[in-house]
Structure 1
């Protein structure tokens, strides 16, 4: 009788651990609520110069007039946020004086590094540091074949700052390397400013 009780007790405990509470999202479908552990990958604390809640951030504020001139941006203005990045996300559009590339800064408020690795694929991401922040670089082609380079900055638990640069659709001389040069320079400038917020 005792031998039967142990497996039943173990099964009851495990069921209690794995059954989601009604009305509460499970770990796989959380969209923006972040645990207060300070861990992005759920295993170790994330070392950031400063953790900034992106729900309160205007991404265009990260491009000061000095940075705009240094980066060769002709125009920086708010853009339409993409719903896929979560309710409350924001977007800033940039146009370079040399109109070969365009730039965007997005606040992703519905998931952090874990979500990025699931949706993009960990094998497509290159880890790097940007102004002291952990970051991830990936490349893709926009519709029409224009090269796009994306840098995801781990700015806050469960949130990412996406900085990208891509070639103009009609600009045949834009290259993946050129897009990444622009994206990395923009990401460095943006992350440096982010740490002052």
Structure 2
């Protein structure tokens, strides 16, 4: 049975990007690789490889040349991000090589962390705890009704009060299993998690 899922913030339409410009090579402005702790969820400290400020990260730069090759990403292009995602939010549209079945984007969320995620998405959509290259992460299947496409969203706990969202779903007009989008979200999450940890 399909459910109407309430999105974490403003729902994003999943479409492929037309630009073929590669992403920038750097990601974030913090140094060091020692694990860091924080209290993003307001309870126990959060163990991360590295806390990265989502307001300063080069979001397209998180898609490295190796990730492009491995995940068959043709381009990663910065584009406008919804204002509801917070001040200084950024977005990167991902265009995959042919045949194109799935599409999606990376988003930086700067106005709420895991605590807000659980109060919003977690009320209507099951959040599955997972990891992305050492970062705590939460996977949510968004099955929608109407014109919005279904998506599988991976929220990476990158910093206290901030998240990195990997949103993937079947392209409009393409019949493809949502589980495939979830596997893609997790694969991309692992790649960007590695880039965050070494930024």
Tell whether the structures are fold-level matches, with TM greater than 0.5: yes
Equivalent residue number for residue 190 of structure 1: 192
Matches within 5 A, 1:1-197: 38-97=38-97, 98-121=99-122, 124-141=126-143, 143-144=146-147, 146-172=149-175, 174-197=176-199
Equivalent residue number for residue 12 of structure 1: none
Quote how far apart the aligned CAs of 1:113 are: 0.3
Unaligned residue ranges in structure 2 (runs of 5+)? 1-36
CA distance in 1, matches of 2:150, 2:72: 19
Q: Could you say which structure has the greater relative contact order, defined with CA pairs below 8 angstroms and 6 or more residues apart?
A: 2
Contact 1:144 1:169 in 2 (8 A): no
Q: CA RMSD in A?
A: 1.5
State the number of aligned residues: 160
Quote how far apart the aligned CAs of 1:141 are: 3.1
CA distance in 2, matches of 1:164, 1:116: 14
Quote how far apart the aligned CAs of 1:87 are: 1.2
Which stretch of the first structure deviates more once superposed, 39-48 or 107-116? 39-48
The structure with the largest alpha-carbon Rg is 1
CA distance in 1, matches of 2:190, 2:167: 12
Unaligned residue ranges in structure 1 (runs of 5+)? 1-36
Quote how far apart the aligned CAs of 1:76 are: 1.1
Structure with greater proportional helix content: 1
Quote how far apart the aligned CAs of 1:65 are: 1.5
Say if 1:176 and 1:195 are closer, same or farther in 2 by CA, change over 3 A: same
Contact 1:104 1:163 in 2 (8 A): yes
CA distance in 1, matches of 2:192, 2:180: 18
CA distance in 1, matches of 2:43, 2:142: 29
CA distance in 1, matches of 2:38, 2:187: 27
- Deviations 1:38-70, CA, capped at 9 Å, x for gaps: 211212110000000111101101011221111
